[in-house]
Amino acid sequence: MAETNGGYDTGIPHDEMSVEELREEYAELHEQMMSGVLEANRHDRMMGAWNELRERTEVEQPECPECGARNWGFSDHTECRDCAFGPADTDLLNDIQSAWDSIMHAEVSA
Ligand SMILES: [Zn+2]
């Protein structure tokens, strides 16, 4: 039996997982990242789950004022994944946060 890294790397391709499963996996891995215990080789798995969720939920994140990307990263602070811009504008940060909430909690029909 293969090591499962605490049971969260199921090895199942993300496109075969349900939104609920993706959210669970992402939440767990994100939690590990925030606690500084995420293994380096698990970061891609976390990002894969996140990208799949963004596609499935069809939530559009706010545009980066610097480069126009809609791809925000969340670690100890919020920053653009494309240009590393870190917004300080509260309205923008709130919009980014509510997009995140939708991706993680909104009803999804599929
Ligand atoms: Zn940017």
Return the DSSP state at 90. H
| 70 CA to centre of ligand 1 in angstroms | 8
- pLDDT digits 0-9 by tens, 39-88: 988 999 999 999 999 999 999 999 999 999 999 998 788 999 999 999 99
| 62 CA to centre of ligand 1 in angstroms | 11
| 11 CA to centre of ligand 1 in angstroms | 31
| 103 CA to centre of ligand 1 in angstroms | 20
pLDDT attached to residue 96: 96
Average pLDDT, the chain: 89
- Paired tokens of 78: 């919020």
pLDDT attached to residue 8: 54
| 100 CA to centre of ligand 1 in angstroms | 17
pLDDT attached to residue 74: 85
- Note the pTM of the prediction, 2 decimals: 0.82
What residue ranges in the chain does DSSP mark as E strands? 72-74, 78-80
- Rounded CA gap, 60 and 92, in Å? 13
| 9 CA to centre of ligand 1 in angstroms | 30
Please, is 64 exposed, middle or buried when counting C-beta atoms within 10 Å of its C-beta (0-12, 13-18, 19+)? buried
Distance of CA 37 to the CA centre of its chain: 17
- Rounded CA gap, 12 and 49, in Å? 11
pLDDT attached to residue 110: 56
What are the boundaries of each domain within the chain? 17-58, 61-105
| 13 CA to centre of ligand 1 in angstroms | 29
- Paired tokens of 71: 């791809």
- Paired tokens of 66: 């610097």
